[in-house]
Amino acid sequence: MMKDLFDTPWKISNESLRLLIYPYLRLLFSLQQIRWGPNWKIIGVPIIQKHRHSVMRFGSGFSLRSSKSSNPLGVNHPVILCTWQAGAVLEIGDNFGMTGGSLCAAEGITIGNNVNIGANTTVIDTDFHPLDPEIRRQSPQAAQAVSIRIENDVFIGMNCLILKGVTIGHSSVIGAGSVVTRDVPARAVAAGNPARVIKEF
């Protein structure tokens, strides 16, 4: 065990950082009225943008990597956890892991157990702005939002974009760099832009 630590000194740095900022993280989540769960491991400081009339709920084994040195794939920016408007729900099950990237819910993002999301991926359930230019001029915030569901045991590769209204079925894999615009069935591998199923287990 000790030899492994000496062979990978960056892991010592990451663990030291995690312990150093632990009190601040507890305070940060508490101020946002987010209950701290068991076996959480957060390296670096995430960005939390929580609407006062929204819900963020995270299970045990919640793991976030936000510091630049926390992952060899590179972190473009800290993890962003966002509930954009009143009534939005961001709910994540047990044993979740994410590096960099963003989870932004205007209506709802539900993520099951044992889900891992690769570096710098964005999951967003809203267009942010209307597509119609006439509506956009009059009501720039009147965007469509449709909930996203990611089921148990899903793995999402780095630099992906998961868009509104999508369900990703249990045990599926999303290839790196994919743009997911439609549902992915259970036990499938999907990749590309737009993502399509290339293999089923």
Kindly report whether the peptide bond that precedes residue 194 is cis, defined as omega within 30 degrees of 0: yes
Number of domains observed in the structure of the chain:
1
Among the listed residues 51, 53, 129, 170, the single catalytic one is 129
- From 2-16, 23-37, 91-105, the region with the lowest mean pLDDT: 2-16
Residue type, 111: I
At 1, is the pLDDT very low, low, confident or very high (cuts 50, 70, 90)? Answer: very low
User: Does the structure show a pLDDT above 60 at 140?
Assistant: no
Residue type, 83: T
User: Domain containing 133 — which CATH number?
Assistant: 2.160.10.10
111 backbone dihedrals φ, ψ, rounded to 5°: -125, 130
- From 3-7, 13-17, 18-22, 196-200, the region with the lowest mean pLDDT: 3-7
Residue, of 131 and 175, whose pLDDT is higher: 175
* pLDDT of the residue at 18: 77
- In the residue annotation, 170 being an active-site residue is answered as no
Angle 61-80-193 from CA coordinates, rounded to 5°: 100
Rounded to an integer, what distance in angstroms lies between the CA atom of residue 10 and that of residue 19?
14
In angstroms, how far is CA 105 from the centroid of its own chain? 10
Q: Edge-to-edge, what's the strand order for the sheet holding 41-43? A: 41-43, 63-65, 97-99, 116-117, 155-156, 173-174, 188-192, 195-200
Over residues 11-49, the pLDDT tens digits come to 777 777 777 889 999 999 999 999 999 999 999 999 999
* pLDDT of the residue at 81: 98
Range of the domain at 147: 2-200
Structure tokens at 174: 């999303």
The burial of 23, by beta-carbon neighbours within 10 Å (0-12 exposed, 13-18 middle, 19 or more buried), is given as exposed
Q: What does the pLDDT average to over 148-161?
A: 98
Q: Give percent above pLDDT 90 in the chain.
A: 73
